[in-house]
Amino acid sequence: MDAVVAVVLKGYPRLSETFIAQEIRGLERRGMAMRLFSLRRPTDPAVHPVHREILAPVSYLPEYLHEQPVRVLRAWWAVRRRPGYRRARDVWLRDLRRDPGRNRIRRFGQALVLAHEMPADVGWLHAHFLHTPASVTRYAAMILGLPWSVSAHAKDVWTIPEWEKREKLRDCRWLVTCSRYNADHLAGLAPDPARISLVYHGLDLGRFPLPVRPLSFRDGGDPNDPVTLLSVGRAVEKKGYDVVVKALAALPSGLAWRFIHVGDGSLLKSLRELAGAAGIAHHIQWVGALPQEKVLARYRAADVFVLASRVAADGDRDGLPNVLMEAQSQGLACVASRVAAIPELIQAGETGLLVPPDDPTALATALERLIRTPALRARLGAAGMARVRQHFPFERGIGQLAARFGLPHAEPEQCASPSMRR
């Protein structure tokens, strides 16, 4: 593809969306020129190393239209004479009737600004997430008369109505998604299932090199040397951290363990209160969001990784959580819920343990088993590490995505840090 690709993101940069950043950098290394457009400004206090390596310039659309009314009006005045404007406006009005509210109005205003401020060298638009970013991208692409595509991930697939998915799948050129679970669902809604592709995010193993992990003999019997349980993820409903706390509270009182949670999220306060009420707060450390290099150190210091994903009340759910691949790449034994696409990664009893979602008793049983059995942790950790490295390499997915964009086949340049490139 000779033309520049405009990539539309909900927020950038974000610590919780490493997979998007590594994809952008991977495509840059394949020779794709990009410009980034974000619907929201960053709120995280730090960035990952990969964010510092990305070369594409980023522009921020008005997060709230009333904050930049002149910018929005100037965009409307300029693009209303374009041939595609009337169609985009009519499609938006039809969407607004079915989904009335400020969010739908804001999406069209952002699309006006995106279309007006789009550089002339852009020939393709690509959205990350099928919900809000794809709406803005769709309207702007109509105004500009340009093709567009989309990467679908998790919440965006499962929290928008079927009519919206069908119409976006009709209008986009193609869609990629990161799990078979998602791909099968979307293929059933697309006018042509061939436009849906399964592309696993995979893991950039250059950023997660083989660990030096001595065999741990901790078995929960020494209070001065507890087994370390780790989880990385946002404290939101679909991650099931209330289930984790309840499972931890159900562990035998004499068992020596500690639990470390990495991540931010709206439910942290209530989770702390739940742990306090259960009498286990002294076993738990809530460390907040961390950049990738510090998360890697946490993986290497832990004995067990736990993720209790579930389907939230609004339908939100995980796809295939990258944190599970990251943990397994470091030889860490994992226990997770048998939900969504997680079984595509973890083979129960072979490369990890799977338990039913929303089942603290089953999770507690699995955790106690791993705490008490160092040999089982070692076996599952080694098998999980081998599977991730063999079946989920990052470059395989980037190669598939590069082909979708029509990039010529080429080996990527060697990944270099910003200091090495100077």
Give me the residue spans of the domains in the chain.
4-202+393-421, 227-391
User: Which 3 state secondary structure label does DSSP give 286?
Assistant: strand
User: 241-249 vs 360-372: helix axis angle to the nearest 10?
Assistant: 60
Torsion angles phi and psi, residue 284, rounded to 5: -120, 140
Confirm whether 4-202+393-421 and 227-391 share one CATH topology: yes
Distance of CA 273 to the CA centre of its chain: 28
Q: How far apart are CA 159 and CA 169, in angstroms?
A: 15
Q: How far is CA 54 from CA 10, 16, 417, in A?
A: 17, 17, 10
The answer to whether 284 and 258 are in contact (CB under 8 A) is yes
Q: Quote the CATH superfamily of domain 227-391.
A: Glycogen Phosphorylase B; (3.40.50.2000)
CATH architecture of 4-202+393-421: 3-Layer(aba) Sandwich (3.40)
CA within 13 Å, CB half, 7: 23
The answer to whether 54 and 12 are in contact (CB under 8 A) is no
Torsion angles phi and psi, residue 335, rounded to 5: -125, 130
State the pLDDT at residue 196: 97
Residue-by-residue pLDDT tens, the chain, 422 positions = 678 999 999 999 998 899 999 999 999 999 999 999 999 999 988 999 999 999 999 999 999 999 999 999 999 999 999 999 999 999 999 999 999 999 999 999 999 999 999 999 999 999 999 999 999 999 999 999 999 999 999 999 999 999 999 999 999 999 999 999 999 999 999 999 999 999 999 999 989 999 887 778 999 999 999 999 999 999 999 999 999 999 999 999 999 999 999 999 999 999 999 999 999 999 999 999 999 999 999 999 999 999 999 999 999 999 899 999 999 999 999 999 999 999 999 999 999 999 999 999 999 999 999 999 999 999 999 999 999 999 999 999 999 999 999 987 655 444 333 332 32
β-bridge partners, 393: 203
Left, alpha or beta for 25 (phi > 0: left; psi -120 to 50: alpha)? alpha
Amino acid found at 88:
A
DSSP H/E element including 206: none
Burial of residue 185 (number of CB atoms within 10 Å: 0-12, 13-18, 19+): middle
The answer to whether 219 and 410 are in contact (CB under 8 A) is no
